[in-house]
A and B are shown apart, each in its own frame.
Chain A
Amino acid sequence: MSEKEVERRDPTELQDVFTGESMDLRPGSDDCYKCSTCDTECPVAEVDDDFPGPKFQGPEQWRLKRKDDHDIDDSVMSCSNCMRCDNVCPSEVPLSQMHNTARGEYVESQMSKLSREYIRNRILSNYGRLAPLAARFPRLTNFVMGLSVTKFVNEKVMGITGEREFPEFATETFTDWWTKRGGANVQNEEKRVAYFHGDYSNYNTPEVAKAMVRVFESFGYEIVVPEQRCSGTPMFANGMMDDARRAAKFNIETFAALVEQGYDVICSCTSCSMALRQEYPELYSFDGTAKVAANTFEALEYLRIHEDLEGELADSSVPESEFGELAYHAPCHARNQGLDGQAVELLSALDGTDPVDVGDSCSGISGTYGWKSEKYDTSMKIGEEMFEHMEDVENETGMTECPTCAMQMNHGTGYEIRHPLEVLDSALVDA
C-alpha cells in the first residue's frame, strides 16, 4: 500500500462530513464489493447452518446498524475468530476487526452479565489469571481437572464440554525455570530479543519455551523475559474487551520500552504474535502500539530472516525415532501472518524428519471456542478434514505452532504433538 493510501485509510483521520462524527469502520465497509470470498473460506459457515458468515457479520451488519436496527445479531458469538476471512479478502476489508468490535459491543450491551454464558466465557478467556493458582499446585490441579465429577460439573453447570481432557499443568513453570537458571546465558549488545512466551508455554508446555531459549542462545542472542500478561487472543474471541484492553496495555508498555532499547519481540505461539502484530494496532492506540507490532516476529520467521537457518538445518539431523514423519498443521493465525508454509519448508532440509502438510483446513478448536459445550460438535466437524489428513500420515506424531490447535490435533487423533522449536532444539543444540 502506498503512503497515500495508508493515510486515506486511517479511520481516526476521517470524519463524516455531515455529522462531524468519526468514521470508524466506514472505509472498511465501503471497500467490500460483496464477492463472498470470505464466506467460502469461513470454516464455521461451512458446517454450521445457523451461521450467516463473515460478509454479514462484518460489513453488512455494520451498515444495517447505521439505521434503526441497532442490535448486534447474536450469531457473532459463533464466529471463532480464526480470521481466515482477513486472509482471503481481495479488497482489504478489516473483517476480523469488525467482528471483534461487534462482538465487544454485543457482550457489552446485549449479554446479561449474570448469564451462564457470560460467566463461562469470562472464565475461559481469563485462563491466564487462573493458571498461576493452578500452577502452584500442578499435581492437585491435574488430578482434580481429570476427575469425571469435575467434568460433570463443568458440563452441567458451566457449559464447558466434558469431551475434552484439560491440559496438564507443568510441575515447573517456564518462568520459574528461567529464574532458577539465573536468566540469560548469553550477553550480546548486538543481538537482543525479548521473549513473549504467552501463558500456555509458561504453565503447560514449558518445553516449547525452553527450546526457544536454547535455540536463540545457540545463535548468540541475548534473551530477556519480561513480566507479561496474556496476549488477549481468548478475550478478543469472547468479546471481553475491557479485560483485553488491560492486558494489551500492560504488554504494550512493557515491550515498547524494550523495543526502544533495541530488542525485537519474539513469540513462539502464532496467536500471540497475531495479537501483538495485528489486533493491538487495530484496536488500541497506546503509545508504542505500532512500534511493538512492527518489531514482533514469530521465532522461526525471525531466525530465517536474520540467520542462515536453512543452511544450518541442512547440515544437521534429528533422531528419526523421535520425529520422523510429522503431520504438520498450519494454524489459521499462522496463515494470516504468511507463515503457513514456513515450518514444512525449513524442516524439509533436515535429516531425520519429514514434515507433511495436512492441508489448509482449520483445526476447529479456535482457542476457547471448542471448549464450549454448544460449540463442541461444530468444532469437531470443522476439524474432521484435518483429522482425516493426519491419519494418512505414517507416523503418529503431529506438529503445529499453536497450543490449542495442538490440543485439537491430539484430541482427534491421539497423536503426540510437537512444536517446530522443539525440532530445532533437537537439531541445533548440543544436549
Chain B
Amino acid sequence: MAIEDDVVVVGGGLAGMATALSAAQDGSRVRLLSHKESTLRFASGLIDVLGYVGSEIVSNPFETISQLPDEHPYRRVGEDGIRDGLALIDSVTDYAGGHTDRNALVPTFGGTVKPTARYPKHTAPGLASDERDALLVGFETVVDFDAPLAAEHLAETVPFDVRGITLQFLGDFRTDARVTRLAHALDENERIEVGGRGSVSESVPARIALAERVKPHLGDAERVGFPAILGEEHPDEVRATIGRKLGVEVFEIPMGTPSLPGMRLEAEFETALREAGVRTTTGNPVVDFEGTDEISAVIVERNSARIPFHGEQFVLATGGLVGKGIDSDRSGVREPVFDCHVPAPENRYDWFEDGAFDDHRFARFGVRVDDELRPLDSAGSPEFHNLRAVGGVLGGYDFAAEKSGSGISLATGVVAGRNASDEVNL
C-alpha cells in the first residue's frame, strides 16, 4: 500500500503539532496532515493555561482545575497532562514563565492585562508585576496598537508609571506596509535614509535608526515596549541592539493577526517536528475516511482526486469554529471529517445569549471525549476505537473567556499523542 504511517494527525495547529511531536518522541512513525498554515498566525504567541473561571481571575491554574465542570478537557487529562503539555513547550521554545506555577500578568495591545503561563522572552521585561516605569511606543502605520490609549488603560491597574507615544516608522515605507515588511527591515538591519545636513542624506541601519527615533522621548522610563514586530528571524538581535542603543530594556507587546510571535512559535515547532522525524503533508483538506468501527485511512482531497493516507491510530486536531474543525448551519452543528457527534441545543436561538460578552453556548460547542480522549457518540460510546480528538475541536470549554486555548491544545495533544503511540507499540 502507498502512504502508510503509525499515527496520522489531522490538523496542523498547536494541538496537532503537539500531538505529532509527542507521538514521534514516543517512537511512532507520524504523519501530520494540514490543510493550511496554522491559526498560530492569529495567536498572541502566549501560552495560557487558565486565566479566568467565571469572572474570577486565576492566580494558580493547578489549584483551580478542580473547580472546572466535569466535561472540561482539563478534567480528562488532569494536572499531569497540563504539566506534560508545558514541558513540551519548554522543550520546543525558550519561553519564560516556567519558574513558577503562578500566572504571569502580560500587558496586551489593548492596554489590558492577561494572565498567562508561558510567554516569549521578548515579552518578559514587560510584565505588569514589574515595578519599573515604562514607555510604550506605537507607530502611525501599525494601526492595531494605539500606545497612548493602551498606556492610559494600563496606568489604571499597574504599579508603575507608563506613558505612550506614537511615532512615524522609519524610512519611506508605504503607509500600509505589512508588519512582515517592517520586521524584515529590522531582521536584515536594512539601511534607512535619514535626513542629513543640507542636501546630503545619510543612511543608518534600521535598528539604530529606530533607537535614535525613540531616544528623545525616553524620559525616566526604564523599559520600552514596542508592538511585536521586532524581527521574524532574529528578534533576539533586534531587541538587543535597540536596547543597547537606548540603555534600557526593550520588550514586545503581543499583537493580533498577523502575529509575529505566533509565526515564530510555528517556526520553532516546525523545526522540532522535522528533527523528530514527523512527516508533514500540507495544502489539501482531509474530507473523508475509510473504515466503519475502526478507521483505516483518511482521504485527502486535491481538486477532486482522492488520496488515501493509511494509519493505525488517528487524531483529530482540526480546531474549533475559527479553524473550521466545527461547522454549523441552520439545522445543527457538525464535525465535518468523521461526522463525530457534537452536542448542541435543537433550537438555534438557544445557541447564544443577547449580550456580546455573555456566556454563549456556541463558544463551548465541540466533540465530547472519554478519558482516553476518544470522541463519544450521542449514546456516550466511542465513535471509533482508534480516533482521538484534541485542542479546539473539543467541546465543554470557552477558551476565549477562560484564557485556556493553548494550554488545552498542548495538554490534550501530548496525552493523545502518547496514548496513540502506546497503542501502536502494544
Contact = CB atoms under 8 A, between A and B. Distances in A.
Contacts of A45: 178, 180-181
Interface stretch (A86-94, A105-113, A115-123, A141-149): A86-94
A87 B36 contact: yes
A1 interface: yes
A52 B180 CA distance: 12
A35 B304 contact: no
Contacts of B152: none
B292 interface: no
Q: Which of A36, A53, A337 is the most central at the interface, judged by chain B CB atoms within 10 Å of its CB?
A: A36
A306 interface: yes
Interface of A: 1-2, 35-37, 39-42, 45-47, 49-50, 52-53, 56, 87-90, 277-278, 281, 290, 293-297, 301, 304-309, 335-342, 345, 357
A49 B257 contact: no
A340 B180 contact: no
Contacts, number: 111
Contacts of B285: 1
A338 B258 contact: no
Contacts of A1: 285, 287, 301
A125 B2 CA distance: 37
Interface of B: 1-3, 36-37, 39, 41-42, 172-174, 176-181, 184, 257-258, 263, 274, 279-285, 287, 300-305, 307-308, 322-324, 327, 336
A304 B282 contact: no
A50 B305 CA distance: 39
A87 B283 contact: yes
Given A49-B174, A305-B3, A294 B303 contact: yes
A332 B296 CA distance: 31
B180 A297 contact: no
B11 to A, nearest CB: 12
A257 to B, nearest CB: 19
A49 B184 CA distance: 11
6 contacts: A39-B258, A40-B179, A47-B184, A88-B41, A293-B304, A341-B281
A295 B287 contact: no
A295 B181 CA distance: 39
Contacts of B283: 87, 335-340
A309 B279 CA distance: 16
Contacts of B36: 87-90
A277 B303 contact: yes
Nearest to B327: A2
A39 B180 contact: yes
Given A40-B263, A305-B307, A338-B283, A87 B37 contact: yes
Contact of B41 (A40, A295, A337): A40
Contacts of B281: 338, 341-342
